[in-house]
């Protein structure tokens, strides 16, 4: 009997050791893979943040390694690619892909012969097309005559009131809407399509903008054969154009003393115009200007800081034509366009204090990704 008990004890010991080894192995896998799951969650969060940050600052973002370390506290390896194909290119643009990875050194399962490997997560983000806020009027919009403001794939935000007569109105073509904010009445536009809606919400805030540093000091050029050729730089004295034709070379212009075009012809491609605080801004004549595009700049065409005093940009008569591509932010300027053959056309976005048209003015604003006045970062979204 004693020998039998000894034999049973001897057989239980190795079985118990095998069971214990098995349980330890299971625990090791559970712990290691639990840690891996947590690490993957951290990787995904960083991938999402990196992709969204690049989409938000698409104009200045560059492909490469970790351009936004502030969203990568763990120091993961980052591979960011700007300009990838969007999952749905009909409604999405400016897509970027972030791949985030790290070496995973297994804590326990290494004792079973499993070596470390790499964990990786990715995200794709970009801008949703359509419905951008492209036309901001801080106070009032008014129009009369037979003109219609056509807004293509964009929305209109009005802070106080809208008033139109006869056949005038705001016509949204494609995606978008017209909204009067601050609880004010949306009535006053019988020819608007779709109908104006009202909300008690405050007018969306003006997106922040930091102008580039002030470049070389310049003087206003003299006219040669009635042509004035301007170079990028800082013009401290007021510029009142007196040549029949004026050309702005590509670059950044600081008109610290203000700018008046005086019904002349003005052209310029890839330009950004910064108007000095509390200084006059008046673009009249035959004006054709474009800002740097999304890949080479931030899309700003004309800017004056929000603290500037109230100004008037008034275009009267039959010679006035303004064609701009880019963002125009003049939050304390009243734009008044009138005249049977005048036109006002912007591809991008406009922010002004008041906007008035009279007569048969042809006016239109078309959305252009990156160069719109997009007040909400939520327009930049994760797609994958």
**pLDDT value for 19:** 63
- Read off the pLDDT band of 377 (50, 70, 90): very low
- Tell me the CA end-to-end span of the chain in Å, nearest whole number: 71
Per the structure block, which two tokens stand in for 362?
């042809």
Distance CA 353, CA 356 (A): 10
The residue-averaged pLDDT of 48-73 equals 80
245-269 core/surface letters (b: 16 or more CB in 10 A; e: else): bbebeebbbbbbbbbbbebbbbebe
Where is pLDDT greater, at 107 or 331?
A: 331
Distance CA 165, CA 146 (A): 8
Are residue 113 and residue 165 in the same domain, yes or no?
Answer: no
**pLDDT value for 13:** 61
**pLDDT value for 5:** 45
Q: What are the helix (H) ranges across the chain?
A: 2-56
Backbone angles phi, psi at 38, to 5 degrees: -65, -40
Which long-range contacts link 85-91 to residues 24+ away (Cβ below 8 Å)? 86/124, 86/126, 86/383, 87/124, 87/383, 87/384, 88/383, 90/129, 91/128, 91/129, 91/130
Are residue 124 and residue 222 in the same domain, yes or no?
Answer: no
Residue pLDDT, tens place only, 357-373:
887 677 778 777 677 77
Q: Provide the CA 100 distance to its chain's centre, in angstroms.
A: 24
Are residue 101 and residue 149 in the same domain, yes or no?
Answer: no
Q: What torsion do the CA atoms of 279, 345, 356, 367 make, to the nearest 10 degrees?
A: -90
Are residue 156 and residue 87 in the same domain, yes or no?
Answer: no
Are residue 122 and residue 157 in the same domain, yes or no?
Answer: no
Residue 306 has pLDDT above 70, yes or no: yes
Q: Answer whether 0.85 is exceeded by the pTM.
A: no
Per the structure block, which two tokens stand in for 268?
């310029």
Are residue 136 and residue 121 in the same domain, yes or no?
Answer: no
CB atoms within 10 A of CB 353: 21
Are residue 115 and residue 258 in the same domain, yes or no?
Answer: no
The residue-averaged pLDDT of 157-162 equals 93
What's the total number of domains in the chain?
A: 2
Are residue 116 and residue 138 in the same domain, yes or no?
Answer: no
Are residue 259 and residue 311 in the same domain, yes or no?
Answer: yes
On whether the CB atoms of residues 189 and 196 are closer than 8 A, the answer is yes
Are residue 10 and residue 138 in the same domain, yes or no?
Answer: no
Are residue 122 and residue 177 in the same domain, yes or no?
Answer: no
Please give the residue range of the domain that contains residue 323.
132-382
Which of 68, 96, 128 represents a domain boundary (last residue)?
128
Where is pLDDT greater, at 143 or 64?
A: 143
Are residue 175 and residue 116 in the same domain, yes or no?
Answer: no
Which of 128, 150, 180 represents a domain boundary (last residue)?
128
Provide CB contacts within 8 A for 352, sequence distance 6+: 136, 137, 138, 328, 330, 331, 333, 334, 335
CB atoms within 10 A of CB 213: 8
Where is pLDDT greater, at 375 or 52?
A: 52
Task: Report the percent of the chain where pLDDT is more than 70.
Answer: 80
């Amino acid at each position: 009997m004693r020998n039998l008990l000894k034999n049973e004890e001897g057989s239980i010991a190795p079985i118990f050791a095998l069971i214990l080894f098995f349980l330890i192995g299971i625990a090791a896998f559970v712990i290691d893979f639990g840690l891996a799951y947590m690490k993957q969650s951290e990787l995904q969060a960083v991938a999402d943040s990196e992709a969204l940050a690049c989409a938000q600052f698409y104009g200045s973002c560059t492909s490469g390694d970790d351009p936004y370390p502030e969203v990568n506290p763990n120091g993961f390896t980052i591979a960011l690619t700007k300009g990838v194909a969007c999952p749905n290119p009909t409604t999405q643009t400016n897509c970027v892909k972030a791949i985030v990875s790290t070496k995973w050194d297994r804590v326990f399962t290494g004792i079973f012969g499993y070596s470390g490997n790499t964990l990786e997560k990715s995200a794709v983000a970009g801008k949703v097309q359509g419905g951008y806020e492209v036309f901001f009027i801080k106070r009032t919009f008014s129009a009369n005559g037979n003109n219609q403001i056509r807004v293509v794939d964009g929305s209109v935000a009005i802070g106080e009131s809208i008033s139109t007569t006869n056949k005038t109105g705001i016509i949204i073509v494609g995606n978008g809407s017209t909204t009067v904010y601050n609880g004010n009445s949306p009535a006053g536009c019988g020819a608007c399509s779709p109908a104006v809606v009202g909300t008690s919400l405050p007018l969306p805030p003006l997106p922040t903008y930091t102008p580039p540093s002030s470049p070389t000091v310049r003087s206003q050029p003299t006219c040669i054969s009635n042509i004035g050729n301007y170079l990028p730089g800082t013009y401290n004295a007021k510029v009142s154009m007196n040549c029949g034709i004026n050309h702005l070379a590509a670059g950044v212009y600081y008109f610290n003393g203000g700018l008046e075009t005086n019904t002349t012809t003005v052209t310029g491609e890839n330009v950004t115009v910064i108007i000095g605080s509390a200084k006059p801004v008046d673009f009249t004549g035959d004006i054709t200007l474009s800002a740097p595009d999304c890949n080479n700049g931030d899309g700003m065409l004309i800017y004056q800081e929000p603290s500037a005093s109230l100004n008037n940009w008034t275009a009267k008569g039959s010679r006035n034509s303004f064609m701009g591509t880019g963002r125009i932010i003049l939050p304390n300027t009243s734009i008044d366009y009138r005249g049977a053959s005048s036109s006002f056309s912007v591809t991008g976005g406009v922010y002004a204090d008041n906007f008035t048209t009279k007569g048969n003015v042809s006016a239109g604003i078309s959305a252009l990704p990156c160069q719109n006045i997009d007040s909400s970062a939520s327009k930049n979204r994760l797609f994958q």
